[in-house]
Structure 1
Amino acid sequence: MSTTLPYERVADVRCGVGESPFWHAAEQAWYWVGIPDKKIWRYKNASAPQLSHWNTNEMIGCLALADDGSFIAGMESGIFQLQLGEQHQVHAKRLAAPPELGQGIRFNDGRCDRQGRFWSGTMFMDMAQAKAIGNLYRYTTQQGVSSPFVAGLLVQNGLAWSADGRTMYLSDSHPNSQLIWAFDYDCEVGVPHNQRVFVDMKQHQGRPDGAAVDVDGCYWICGNDGSRLLRFTPEGKLDREIMIPMKKPAMCSFGGANMDELMVTSIAAGQPAEDEWAGSTIILRPGTQGIGEALFGMK
């Protein structure tokens, strides 16, 4: 049964595609990105709300924190190390670019596994063409960017790991796919195997977009086009649905001082101008806690 919960709107920010939210524990702040807007956002709400942003030179699909205080990001032309400077400026250093990355392709969803390896996938930006040329990559400082671990993706999304790191999740949010897969994951070497269908989202409301995992091992997925969040047990059974005001939620992430808040970003692109919630970002308390994100090993 679907439920609704109280939520807080994060300022008056409208992202073309809001993505990659995460909690920066050391700063007690939320970060997320606006992909076509070429922006990184930060929100702090300790005593009084503080909203900051930085401008990037190209579209940024995903962002994660590194152990040296910098950030690692999947962008249009590769994987970058970012330093956030003054006057809204970002200092970017390209670390790697897979040979399959070409015109019209960019990195999309991504995050670190429990050991701090960075994973991200690519997509052909014109979804209407339905080109299944997206790939999933792993990047480490020692080994660089991998060959594709998963190929033939339309719109890569939904990356997440179980609490013990031994299960990896991945989704394809394109209307032609709408699948979520689970993999067995070798934590020691960072290799997924035994790919199988975890959830067929064509049986549920909304396409599978960005995701998060809670302390119970349940997988939370944004139901894009469905105005809802869905939680699946480790066995793939739907056990909760939370209705939210945005038609196209894009990604969710746990954070807050007690890891009991859930930030949800959304998409304004292609939505009616009068839709006041399109592209907005909200924070709610779903009644469970999440797991902090691992830092990328830049050192």
Structure 2
Amino acid sequence: MSFELTFECALDLRCAVAESPVYDERRNCLFFVDIGRGAVHRADLSGMGHIEWTFDHGACSIGLARSGRLVLAQRDRVVLFNPDNGAITVEIATIETERRDTRLNDGKVGPDGAFWVGTMHDVTADRRPVAALYRVSPTGEVERRIDDIICSNGLAWSGDGTLLFHSDSRGPWIDRWRFDPATGTLSERLRLAMLDEASGRPDGGAADVEGNYWSAGVSAGILNRFSPEGRLIEAHPFPVPAPTMPCFAGSDLKTLVVTSLRPVGVGEESRSGGIFATRSPVAGVAVHRFDDRGL
């Protein structure tokens, strides 16, 4: 099925690096972060009811928790944040605290109830594959699962929870793994795609119910849609130069929301750094919740 998408700017926030959009079906709202400003945002899909919280220790990615809190990846730690009172309530784990050249990046809750979060080599030049993908269990156990990454990104799971999509924005590649939703075990790694600046280095990702993988082509101003086998189905033009992550929202999960970053030197008229939305003819996969019972 091929179709065209027409994006509208739902929130003209001019974020430095808007990322990690997550739809909360209980509150019927969208949460996302601005990495550049260390902020977590909440807004209705209509763009109303906007709230922002900023953190000294940063805000890199978020996921939903069963209690209604958010699991929040900061620079080198994972915490629980309560958006009802604006408080960080629990520190779950620390990651790579000994390194000053890496930070946490893309993170999502998996079908196993754990928070999966990767690091990135946080330098402006000579980026090297020193980063990794981690699994953080609800008990705070941290397991290093994938090594030799420059910038971990693009986490998404298939509808049945048996496939994990994962990318390296500086590889730049997209991989697919077999995933055990009961244990979080990874196997059968498959390289789905190798990309470049023109085809769209892979930033954040999302999966739809047809099994396809959506990847924000941050370097090319496009949203790529791949089959589970890695075939490029479509490349949708995006209204601003640097989309960062798609997610599916709304009661039917057919509102496609995409965050963006604001490049240095962009004109004042540009809505780069805004949150964009369109209707999708295919629904997305519902996100999972972190099992924070007892925390």
1:41-85, Cα deviation, whole Å (9 max, x unpaired): 111146x82211111222211101100111111111211111225
CA distance in 2, matches of 1:123, 1:101: 14
User: Following the alignment from structure 1 to structure 2, what is the Cα–Cα distance between the partners of residues 68 and 215?
Assistant: 26
Work out whether 1:66 is the aligned partner of 2:62: no
Is the 1:169–1:181 contact (alpha carbons within 8 Å) kept by the matching residues of 2? Answer: yes
Aligned to 1:169, the other structure's residue is in SS state: strand
Structure 1 residue 263: deviation in Å? 0.8
The residue identity in structure 1 corresponding to 2:145 is F
SS at match of 2:187: strand
SS in 1 for 2:284: coil
Task: Name the structure 2 match of 1:5.
Answer: 5
* Residues 77, 101 of structure 1: 8 Å contact kept: no
What TM-score does the superposition give when structure 2 sets the normalisation length?
A: 0.93
Unaligned 5+ segments in structure 2 are none
Stretch moving more, 109-118 or 248-257? 109-118
Give how far 1:193 is off: 1.8
Question: Do the aligned residues in 2 keep the contact of 1:212 with 1:220 (CA within 8 Å)?
Answer: yes
1:172 aligned partner: 168
State the Cα distance separating 1:277 from its structure 2 match. 2.4
After superposition, the C-alpha distances for 1:233-264 in whole angstroms (9 at most, x for unaligned) are: 11111112211112111111001121101110
- C-alpha distance in 1, partners of 2:111/2:286? 9
Aligned mates of 1:269, 1:105 — CA distance in 2 = 21
Whether contact under 8 Å (2:243, 2:260) holds in the other structure is yes
| Aligned-residue offset at 1:268 | 1.0
Aligned counterparts, 1:156-171, within 5 A: 156-171=152-167
- Alignment check: 8 A CA contact 2:70 2:82 kept: yes
- Name the residue aligned to 2:232: 238
Is 1:151 the counterpart of 2:147? The answer is: yes
User: For this pair of structures, how many residues does the alignment match?
Assistant: 293
- Does the 8 Å CA contact 2:77/2:95 hold for their aligned counterparts? yes
CA–CA separation in structure 1 for the residues paired with 2:269 and 2:258? 17
Amino acid of the structure 1 residue aligned with 2:81: L
| Distance apart, 1:100 and its partner CA | 6.2
The Cα of 1:275 is off from its aligned counterpart by 5.7
Q: 4+ residue stretches of structure 1 with deviation over 6 A?
A: none
> What is the CA RMSD across the aligned residues, in angstroms?
2.1
Is the 1:3–1:242 Cα contact (8 Å) retained in structure 2? Answer: no
Residue equivalent to 2:271:
277
Structure-1 residue corresponding to 2:34: 34
| Structure 1 residues not aligned, in runs of 5+ | none
Residue in structure 2 matched with residue 51 of structure 1 by the alignment: 50
Specify which of 117, 128, 131 is matched with residue 131 of structure 1: 128
The CA distance in 2 between the partners of 1:136 and 1:149, in whole Å, is: 6
Question: What amino acid maps onto 1:122 in structure 2?
Answer: T
Q: TM-score, normalised by structure 1?
A: 0.91
SS of the aligned residue for 2:228 comes to coil
Superposition deviation, residue 218 in structure 1: 0.3
Q: Taking every aligned residue pair, what percent have the same amino acid on both sides?
A: 27
Report the more deviating stretch, 90-99 or 187-196.
90-99
Paired residue for 1:94, among 82, 91, 95? 91
2:102–2:122: 8 Å Cα contact kept in structure 1? Answer: yes
